[in-house]
Amino acid sequence: MRSVNDSELDVMSTKQIHPKREKSNMRFQGLRATIRLVLVLLALALWGCDEPLQENDAGGIALTVEFQSAPTIVGVNDQNRVTIGQMNIDSIAVNPDAGISSLMDVEISTMEVTYTRADTGTRVPVPYVVQLLGTVPADGTLTYSNIPVLGIEQMRAEPLSDLLFENGAVDKETGNDYIRLNVNVRVFGRTRGGEEVASRLRGETVEFVPSLVTSF
């Protein structure tokens, strides 16, 4: 009987084990291919879901406020509120190349008016906040007429009440017979797509004097 040496045993062992390794590698490669296919299908499904989300995206709108026929001087004893003859709210598409839809229309809800001094004084009226209804079309304009920017609460309280005749018609803080205010308007709303929008602040300087019709 022929004996088997060590080298022949190694060859036989290799011939017996190698087919098993090949089968294992084939199974592993098949599993990797299956995983790749699943990942590709998942990516395609997610990409398909993104399309309607992009169409429903209502962002990319900026609002600006412009005044027409805004007063520059007001007699405090002559009236108890101040109005702007015409106010335009413009909708501007930040990225018009991305497309515009009705979901970007803005439903206006509120107007807020705040004040700063344009002279050496420091006192200012309390903010004027009112409900404001209307819809600004995407990339369009909404126009209001005779919009109040100061009401009786502002006109009949300090510092403007200092200019009433019964109070001496002089700003008690500065000693001047006038008060200059920056009237700052901002509007707030929500797009039809559900995003909150606020306009850029728009300011106008107005001088308040005791009266335009009666010398004091």
Rounded mean pLDDT of 124-153?
97
Q: What is the DSSP letter of 126?
A: P
Q: Compute the mean pLDDT over every residue in the chain, rounded to the nearest whole number.
A: 82
pLDDT tens, position by position, 24-82: 555 656 666 566 654 544 443 443 333 332 333 336 899 999 999 899 999 999 999 99
With H, G, I as helix, E, B as strand and everything else as coil, classify residue 31: helix
Q: What is the pTM of this model?
A: 0.70
Buried b (16+ CB within 10 A) or exposed e, 109-134: eebbbbbebeeebebbbeebeeebee
Quote the pLDDT of residue 52. 35
Q: Pick the residue with more confidence: 52 or 106?
A: 106
Q: Quick one: CA dihedral 157, 158, 163, 168, positive or negative?
A: positive
**What CA–CA distances, in Å, run from 74 to 6, 12, 214?**
114, 109, 12
Kindly report which listed range (3-7, 113-117, 150-154, 201-205) carries the lowest average pLDDT score: 3-7
Q: Pick the residue with more confidence: 128 or 54?
A: 128
Identify the band that residue 149 occupies on the pLDDT scale cut at 50, 70 and 90. Answer: very high
Quote the pLDDT of residue 33. 59
Q: How far does Cα 134 stand from its chain's mean position?
A: 17
Distance CA 182, CA 60 (A): 29
Question: Does residue 102 register a pLDDT over 50?
Answer: yes
Within 8 A by CB and 6+ apart from 114, the residues are: 124, 127, 184, 186
Quote the pLDDT of residue 23. 52
Question: Does residue 193 register a pLDDT over 70?
Answer: yes
Question: Does residue 6 register a pLDDT over 80?
Answer: no
Distance CA 84, CA 133 (A): 17
pLDDT tens, position by position, 14-26: 444 445 555 555 5
Rounded mean pLDDT of 187-205?
95
